[in-house]
Amino acid sequence: MTPRKLPMRNILRHPGRTASLTVLVAFLALSLFSGSVIVMSLMSGLRSLENRLGADLIVVPATSRGKIDPEKIYLQGTTGYYYMSASKLDEVRAMEGVVQASGQVFLASLRADCCSMPIQVIGFDPATDFTIRPWIGERMKTDLGKMEVAAGSRVNAGVNETIRIYGQPCLVAARLDESGTGLDTAVYCTMETMAELLSAAREMNHELKIDGDPAGVVSAIYVKTHPGEADRLAGEIRQTRSPKVTVIQTRTVTSDVERSLGGVSHTIAVLIICVWLLDLVLLTAAFLLLGGERRREFAVLRSLGMSRRDLAYLALKEAALISFFGGMNGIFLGLLILLPFSGLIEQALGLPYLRPGWPTMLALCAASLAAVCAAGPGAALLSARKLSRADIGTIMREGT
Amino acid sequence: MSLLDIRNVSKIYGELKALDNVSIRVDQGEWVAIMGPSGSGKSTMMNIIGCMDKPTKGQVFLDGIDIAKESSRRLTDIRRDKIGLIFQQFHMVNYLTAVENVMVSQYYHSMPDEAEALEALERVGVRERARHLPSQLSGGEQQRVCVARALINHPELILADEPTGNLDETNENIVLDLFRQLHREGTTLIVVTHDPEVAEAAQRTIVLEHGRLVREVVNEHFVE
Ligand SMILES: Nc1ncnc2c1ncn2[C@@H]1O[C@H](COP(=O)(O)OP(=O)(O)O)[C@@H](O)[C@H]1O
Ligand SMILES: [Mg+2]
């Protein structure tokens, strides 16, 4: 028995007190940790989205069954069935102020053998594309061949596996990095492959109405403009007829998102600070109250020759043990909630959500633990300071 | 030379003179009782001698060192090295067993030694209660553990403030017998008490009233 063991002994012999302090600390760690992970995830979600979709304008048919929320296409990658003639692409490409224009074709498979939910198939033109290729390029050196697809991170198919889309076998040539959006549930192929799939789809699904040659349609046109020309061009494209189109200006969407992201981050940050302060106050109060209860214990130890420094050490070690244990629990709980439910959180927030990589996650764990471990022992030290000043003689004489 | 030489000590709390110009000498190996009505300054005196409090005025030489002048850190060292304390309220550390309470005291003095701690409990008659927590011990047993804890480091001076105040007659006698043994071994004892019987066990009784030393009685019935 040495005083080095006193803190642990005290902790174990007072299970009720220990449990409530641990819960308090765990709650603090949980809120700090999960709050910062969510904020970071939202930020990296938006950043990745901006990087991936470097388009200034997105043009879709105005009659696209009236069900498209333009923001959703952009933010969550929700596509659907809607097609217009590829001549629209040529028309847009020829406009003044357009740097680059590239078409994409969307197809939703009702059921694919790889997936529980319908997957999106997105066809793009490697020759002109500037939104998807850079992303695929990170994972795949050669270009996609005919009947080859690149699979989003949430599509359940490995490289070199074959998946069937409307009965057509497609080889998974690459798997993509996570983007934190609905784009992760899509597979990507060239226009050539897409034409095959569209033909197959048209035969199996009579709802799907494509006029003319499946190789001659696009669902959306991605446009990169000269700087400052986006507004004017958007207006000009809106004027065009046959078909009429909807033009999404990504800057507007992005700044909207940034605004609501800023709002969400701000709210979370304020909450984190409030929770931290509240916890600090509660912890200090708890340690001071405990200190009162423990006046006698400390006085006894001091009367036996314990120095003030020993007393501070005792209080610190106890608080550190509780903080560390509670903090670890809180963070563990945070991981348990955050890891499996990323998808749900993304849906609930309606914003792109991309969980930071493991190095960042570990850093956040460490930072939350450090913040928690600073609060507890800080509070304990405060009460120890007060107690070590107390007059031992008086306490011992009072017998309380 | 006296082990303890208190010269013109006063302790003043605002208007109140808890101790008023008191001088006392206690020789090495002597057994002294301090009596007096409640509030007469007995505990104040014990706390000053026990290095837990400092006098407002005067000098207190313990083994030739004026403890009225020492820093609180040095006072902690002196208390640890030379003094064993026993209180009316027992004051055990409530989450440590009897033997652990004794060992904490060993630790601050030198080194914990469980065998020696158990021997000390044997000596005060609670060896079989060594693994019990204070809440599982009777008052008499707790006080005996406290006596064991006070004597474990062989202090030169044992200070006991109303050590039998909360004990029944049987336990009071056990504690007094322990004091007799300690006295025979050469330990200096200062015992504050209300109880004339306890005072009579000592060699000399000092009486305080209103913080002043009013009387000193040498106990003629003292049996060595
Ligand atoms: N910390 C203190 N502050 C103010 N007065 C005190 C303090 N400690 C003791 N006293 C007063 O000093 C006097 C002596 O107290 P004490 O030494 O405890 O008496 P005794 O032990 O003889 O009963 C009492 O009147 C008591 O109220
Ligand atoms: Mg008293």
In chain B, how many domains are there? Answer: 1
Q: Look up the domain containing B160 and give its range.
A: 29-52+71-218
Q: What pLDDT digit, counting tens, does each position of B86-140 carry? A: 988 888 988 899 999 999 999 988 888 999 999 999 999 999 999 999 999 999 9
Strand A162-165 with A120-124, pairing: unpaired
Read off the CATH number of the domain in which B118 is found. 3.40.50.300
Determine whether the interchain pair B95/A9 forms a contact, defined as Cβ–Cβ distance below 8 Å.
yes
Give the model's pLDDT for residue A57. Answer: 87
Asked whether B91 and A300 are in contact (CB, 8 A), the reply is yes
Residue B3 is assigned to a structural domain of this protein: no
Task: Please check whether residues A272 and A392 belong to one and the same domain.
Answer: yes
For residue A396, the chain B residues in CB contact (below 8 A) are 47, 52, 85, 87, 89, 91, 161
Pocket test for ligand 1, best of B10, B16, B88 (most atoms within 8 A of CB): B16
Query: What pLDDT shows up at residue A400?
Result: 42
Same domain? A260 vs A392: yes
Residues A162, A260: one domain?
no
* DSSP letters for A158-196: -TT-EEEETTEEEEEEEEPPP-SSGGGGEEEEEHHHHHH
Q: pLDDT of B125-154, one tens digit each? A: 999 999 999 999 999 999 999 999 999 999
Give percent helix, percent strand, percent coil of chain B, each to the nearest 5: 35, 30, 35
Q: Answer yes or no: is B167 within a domain.
A: yes
d(CA A306, CA A297): 11
Question: How many residues make up chain A in this entry?
Answer: 400
Q: Are residues A394 and A261 in the same domain?
A: yes
State in Å, rounded, how far the first CA of chain B is from the last one: 22
Give the residue from A46, A29, A53 showing the smallest Cα distance to A356: A46
CB-CB contact of A57 with A234 (8 Å): yes
Same domain, A84 and A192: yes
- A394 and A260, same structural domain? yes
Q: Whole-angstrom Cα distance, residue A94 to residue A88?
A: 10
Range of the domain at A305: 6-48+256-398
pTM: 0.67
Q: Are residues A334 and A283 part of one domain?
A: yes
Among candidates A9, A297, A391 on the partner chain, residue whose Cβ is nearest the Cβ of B53: A391
Q: Is A36 in the same domain as A123?
A: no
Half-sphere exposure of A190 (CA within 13 A, CB side): 14
d(CA B101, CA B194) in angstroms, rounded, equals 27
- Tell me if B145 is assigned to some domain: yes
Name the amino acid, one letter, at B165. G
Is residue A375 in some structural domain? Answer: yes
- The verdict on residue B193 lying in a domain is yes
Q: Do A92 and A161 have their domain in common?
A: yes
d(Cα B190, Cα A71) in Å, to the nearest integer? 88
Residues near ligand 1 with C-beta < 6 Å? A 394, 397; B 13, 16, 18, 36, 38-44
Phi, psi at A282, each rounded to 5°: -60, -45
Give A261-314 pLDDT, tens digit per residue: 777 778 877 877 887 787 778 777 777 777 666 778 888 888 888 888 888 888
Which residues make Cβ contacts (< 8 Å) with residue A397, sequence separation at least 6?
B43, B47, B87, B161
Task: Compute CA distances A161 → A47, A66, A70, A148, A183, whole Å.
Answer: 31, 36, 33, 10, 20
Instruction: Report ipTM (2 d.p.).
Output: 0.87
* Boundary-marking domain end, from A166, A201, A218: A218
Low-confidence ranges of chain A (pLDDT < 50): 65, 399-400
Query: Domain for residue B152, yes or no?
Result: yes
Number of domains in chain A: 2
Q: How far apart are CA B107 and CA A301, in angstroms?
A: 11
The reply to whether B143 falls in a domain is: yes
Residue B133's SS3 state is: coil
